[in-house]
Structure formats: C-alpha cells, structure tokens
C-alpha cells in the first residue's frame, strides 16, 4: 500500500468525495469484510450522504432503483465482494434494461491476491459486463476520480442505464491526489446533455401524422424519463389524438386526461383498449421499444401498419417494425420541435376525435371493472382492492408494484391523477421481491408523497426481511399483500395454457400481518370485503409503516386484465 501524504487522501476517501461531488445524497448497501475502508471513510469524513443499511444487497439495488425513478438522479447502492457482487446484480440488470441510472459499487479482494484463490474471489468485471451499460474494476487508486466521472457520464447521457464500479481492498488504501476530485454538474441528474433530432425529422413525423385517419400514440417509459409530459399533452390536445401507454409508460399523461386511453398490450391491457391498437392506421411509438408485452407479442400493429418512432436510442428504431419516420433524440426536445412545426402550420388544422373514442372505450372498460369492484365475493376480488385505494389515496401518492398479481390490475384500472412517475414496477425482468424494497428508495427520494407498495404473497416471501429496514427508517409506507397462497402468475398460466394441470405452484397460507407486526409494522388482515376501505383508510393515515394482508381471489379464478387469460 502506498504512503498517504498530508495533501493526499486514500482511495476509499476519494470514492466518498467523488460521490459527494456528483450530488449523491443517499446510498443503500450492506457491509462486508472488503468494505471496511470504504465504511470507515463514510464514518469519519464530513459529507452529506445518508447511508441506509439494508439486509440484502439485491434489495439495496432495488432501493436505489426506486430512488432513481422518482428523483431523476443517480441511485447508488453498494455491497461487498463474492456473494455481495452476485446478489447486487439483479437490480443492476433491471435498472439498465428499464433505462434508469443506478450505480452499483462492489468492493473486492485486493488486486495483489488475484489468482491466489482467496475467499470471495470472482471476476466482477466479467460478471457485470454484459448486464450493465458500463462497468470496470479499478486497478489503481489514481483511477478512481476519472472512472467515477466516466460511470456518471455513461449512466446519465443517451439512453440512461446502470453502471458498476469494482473497488478492491488494497486500492482503497492507496493515495489519490485531491486536486482530481471534481465532477461535471450536468451528470448529477438525467437525461444529461440532451440531443435533439436531426433537421427535418420533426417535420417528417408531423407530415406522417397529419396524413393518417386513425393515428394512435403509444408511449413507453422514455416520455416520463425525459420529462416530456407537457409537450406530449400539448400535442395530444391540439390534434385530439388518443394516447396509449405501455406499463412503463404510465404517467406520460394523467389517466384523467381526456386523450389518455391507458395501458395496452398483454399485461394490464384489456379487450377494450386493444381495439385502438387494431384500428390504428398509424402507430406513433414514443420512448417505447415496441416489445412483446405492449404489442401482445407483435400481434398489433399488424404487418403493413404505418409506424413513426421517437426514441433517444437509434438501435430501437426499426428493430421490430418497418419505420416510416424515425426521430432519434431526447423526447422532450423532439416533441418540442413537433409542436413548433405545428405552430407554424397553425395547429395542424386537423382533429382526430380521439377524446370521444377514448371516452367510449373507458366507459365500457370500467363498466366491467365496477361490477367486480363492488362485489362482496370472498376471497376478496383484486378489483375491490384497487377501488378501495383509489378512494383513500391522495392524488400524488406513489404506487410501487411487484410484477405479480397487483401489476395487471393497477396498470389497467388505477386512475393516476398527475402526469409523471407515480406508478413504478419492474417490467424489464420482472423479478419478484421488488416493490417492498423499491418503495423505501422511492420514499427517500420523494418523502412528501404517500408511498404504497403492492405485492403478492410470493413476493413478500422474497423480501420481508427488509421490513426491519423500513421500521428503522421510520418510513410511513403502506404495504398491501395480495394473499392467495400460490405463485399466481404461473398458476394462472398453467390454467390457461396447460388445461389447469397445476404443478408446484401452491404453498401454505401465511399470516403476513403477524409477520409484519413482529418487525414493528402496524398490520391488519382483511377477509371481509366490507372491511377493506375502512382498513385501507386507517393504514394510509397512520404515521408509520403499515401492512394490509388481503386474503384475495387467485389469478386463475379471476378476470385479470391479461389478454391470453381473458380469451
């Protein structure tokens, strides 16, 4: 190890200072042997970073993910070598594929012991390479400032994503020149260094849109990530174009907006909303990759349907559909250019009648929903849970859902009153156990918003240990468990695809309220639908963590808004 001079700092201290220089306010992680110098630096230095000790590195990454989604800043998580590096990986994959900026820092064994079969040795750089946007393992302490800047530059520019830094034990002790501790303030948030479309692209997109008879805009997560909601609202309103979203695109418009159709596709879409996907003669994808879920495995748009595609990643354009016009650039800048073109055309002088069509479709969709939402059946129908929460939650509540039972129902029917990222779910890789942890990160990022985490009982079993973290943080999050004692999505798929030949999808019923109470969470177990709204109201208003364990109908018995099951 090098000798530290008075005007130098060691590598661990340099890492803390570089995070501080990039405006990091919160970090989520779990201690380990290789992390000792890093934790000591966090302990002794004067800085403004709040470190949240978690119970699992995977959950630390989900917390960083939730934090990033609501703040538009880089979420930071950390963990030790060996198992810590492997556990932290699932969250980095999700963040990268969902285009959110999350930095994973894993400390490592000493560079000097590489290849000597030390405990916890793993090739971290090879492990992370295919599943992050950018990654490196540091070999010299003097590289720390430069590589941290590179990581933040990679995460926040272009299509945002995750990055990984490996920080070996001995490197943490070696000297770093304090003069190299600086950051580009543009990389404190994302998108950074936005790029607009090439000249003429916006005009070509407008010409294509105005030539259509029944255009449909389909928004993915890129609209919200870019903060393009205002420009989208202006475009949709002035031309009266219907706007659908993927699950990740929820919040592109408020659900109460007259042009907002809601979610389309195989998960969270309904037969009613799908009508517009089939009827459109021009589909305008905005910040959406036109993947399998949104298009119901590319069932629509049908081959030959005209498409216009807006995205900041040129690799997305034309990947799944022949594109008539591709507009590559930041969504907010691109839509601003589109609206400027329409300004010069005096508004486009065209009205597509989208609001009236949307109103009819939503009326028919909610007629079905309301019938189930008012049902007194037991076990409780999931629709009734959605309806109860809509009655008691404030308009700016943040909902975080696992990809299981709760996701299709809330994607289809929950009516978000504000544009922006107020509904969060991990749609890229769909790992169970996401929402309980991600909700804590979302609360740290936006503490004034009432945060609600939605999960099935299978997901609860993945991650319930983090309830201790939530109680230690005194976070007033409400957890809602859809309890049906099985891995519901797979059981419903076995019902629909395998003639109800169920195999290894059921488990014993658990009293989740009792488990949560043991951690210190105020909890309720609800079996009577008539008690649901009262209990939800009490849970939402309580000043502390709460959990409502709802004994609910299984997915295979329900009218879940998943197209292949509903048919």
Task: Identify the bridge partners of residue 310 per DSSP, sorted by sequence position.
Answer: 286, 327
Q: Which CATH architecture has domain 9-188?
A: 3-Layer(aba) Sandwich (3.40)
Tokens representing residue 394 in the block: 């404030």
Closest residue by Cα to residue 147 from 129, 131, 167, 124: 167
**Per-residue pLDDT tens digits for 514-532:** 999 999 999 999 999 999 9
3-state secondary structure of 38: helix
Rounded Cα distance, 521 and 474, in Å: 10
Give 497's pLDDT tier (boundaries 50, 70, 90): confident
Determine the pLDDT at residue 136. Answer: 98
CATH code linked to domain 374-566: 3.40.50.970
What mean pLDDT comes out for the span 411-416? 96
Q: What is the pTM of this model?
A: 0.96
- pLDDT score, position 557: 77
Q: Is the pLDDT of residue 4 over 50?
A: no
Is 374-566 in the same CATH topology as 201-357? yes
Confidence band for 348, pLDDT divided at 50, 70 and 90: low
Average pLDDT over residues 317-329: 97
Helices in 374-418 by DSSP H: which ranges?
A: 382-392, 406-413
Helix axes 382-392, 406-413, angle to 10 degrees: 50
Confidence of residue 564 (pLDDT cuts 50, 70, 90): confident
Residue 49: per-residue pLDDT: 98
Pure H helices in 283-405: 331-344, 354-373, 382-392
Closest residue by Cα to residue 228 from 261, 197, 202, 253:
253
pLDDT (0 to 100) of residue 347: 60
Mean pLDDT on 262-286: 96
User: With helix as H, strand as E and coil as C, how does 114-171 read?
Assistant: CCCCCCCCCCHHHHHHHHCCEEEECCCHHHHHHHHHHHHHHHHCCCCCCEEEEEECCC
Is residue 253's pLDDT more than 80?
yes
Q: Partners of 523 in the beta sheet?
A: 547
Instruction: Give me the percent of the chain exceeding a pLDDT of 90.
Output: 90
CB 446 within 8 A of CB 418: no
Name the nearest CA neighbour of 111 among 142, 82, 139.
139
Residues facing 78 on adjacent strands: 29, 105
Given this model, what pLDDT does residue 349 score?
66
pLDDT of 169 > 80? The answer is: yes
pLDDT of residue 237: 97
- The answer to whether residue 428 scores a pLDDT higher than 80 is yes
CA distance 453 to 164: 27
Question: Which pLDDT does position 23 carry in this prediction?
Answer: 98
Mean pLDDT of all residues belonging to the chain: 95
* Predicted pLDDT of residue 490: 84
Taking 50 as the threshold, does the pLDDT of residue 1 lie above it?
Answer: no
Q: Where are the domains of the chain?
A: 9-188, 201-357, 374-566
Does the domain spanning 201-357 belong to CATH 3.40.50.1220?
A: yes
Please check the confidence at residue 538 and state whether its pLDDT lies above 70: yes
Statement: residue 5 has pLDDT above 60 = no
Average pLDDT over residues 36-44: 98
């Amino acid at each position: 190890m090098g000798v530290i001079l008075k005007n130098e700092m060691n590598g661990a201290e340099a890492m803390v200072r570089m995070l501080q220089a990039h405006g990091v306010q919160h970090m989520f992680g779990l201690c380990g042997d290789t992390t000792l110098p890093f934790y000591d630096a966090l302990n002794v230095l004067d800085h403004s970073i709040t470190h949240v000790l978690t119970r699992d590195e995977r959950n630390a990454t989900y917390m960083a993910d939730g934090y990033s989604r609501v703040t538009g800043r880089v979420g930071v998580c950390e963990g030790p070598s060996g198992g810590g590096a492997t556990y932290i990986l699932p969250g980095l994959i999700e963040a990268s594929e969902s285009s959110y900026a999350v930095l994973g820092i894993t400390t490592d064994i000493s560079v000097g012991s590489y290849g000597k079969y030390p405990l916890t040795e793993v090739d971290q750089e090879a492990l992370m390479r295919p599943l992050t946007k950018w990654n490196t393992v540091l070999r010299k302490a003097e590289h720390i400032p430069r590589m941290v800047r590179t990581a933040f530059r990679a995460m926040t520019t272009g299509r945002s994503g995750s990055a990984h830094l490996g920080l070996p034990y001995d490197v943490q002790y070696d000297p770093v020149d304090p003069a190299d501790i600086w950051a580009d303030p543009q990389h404190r948030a994302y998108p950074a260094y936005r790029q607009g479309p090439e000249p003429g692209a916006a005009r070509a997109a407008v010409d294509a849109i105005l030539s259509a008879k029944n255009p449909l805009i389909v928004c993915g997560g890129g609209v919200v990530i870019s903060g393009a909601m205002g420009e989208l609202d202006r475009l949709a309103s002035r031309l009266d174009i219907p706007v659908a979203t993927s699950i990740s695109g929820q919040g592109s418009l408020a659900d109460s907006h007259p042009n907002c159709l809601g979610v389309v596709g195989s998960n969270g879409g309904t037969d009613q909303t799908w009508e517009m996907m089939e009827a459109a003669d021009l589909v305008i994808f905005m910040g959406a990759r036109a993947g399998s879920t949104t298009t119901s495995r590319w069932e629509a748009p049908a081959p030959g349907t005209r498409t216009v595609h807006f995205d900041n990643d040129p690799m997305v354009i034309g990947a799944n559909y022949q594109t008539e016009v591709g507009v590559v650039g930041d969504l907010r800048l691109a839509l601003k250019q589109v609206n400027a073109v329409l300004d010069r055309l005096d508004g486009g002088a065209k009205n597509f009648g989208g609001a009236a069509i949307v109103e009819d479709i939503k009326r028919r969709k909610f007629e079905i929903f309301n019938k189930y939402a008012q049902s007194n059946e037991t076990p409780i129908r999931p629709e009734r849970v959605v309806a109860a929460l809509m009655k008691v939650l404030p308009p700016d509540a943040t909902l975080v859902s696992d990809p299981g039972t709760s996701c299709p129902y809330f994607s289809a029917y929950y009516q978000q009153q504000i544009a922006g990222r107020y509904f969060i779910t991990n749609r890229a890789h769909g790992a169970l156990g996401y929402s309980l942890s991600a909700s804590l990160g979302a609360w740290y990022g936006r503490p004034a918003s009432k945060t609600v985490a939605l999960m099935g009982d299978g997901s609860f079993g993945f991650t319930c240990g983090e309830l201790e973290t939530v109680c230690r943080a005194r976070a007033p999050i409400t957890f809602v468990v859809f309890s049906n004692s099985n891995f519901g999505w797979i059981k419903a798929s076995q019902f629909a695809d395998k003639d109800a030949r169920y195999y290894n999808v059921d488990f014993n019923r658990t009293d989740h309220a009792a488990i949560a109470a043991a951690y210190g969470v105020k909890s309720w177990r609800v079996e009577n639908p008539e008690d649901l709204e009262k209990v939800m109201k009490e849970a939402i208003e309580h000043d502390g963590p709460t959990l409502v364990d709802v004994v609910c109908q299984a997915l295979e018995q329900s009218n879940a808004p998943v197209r292949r099951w509903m048919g």
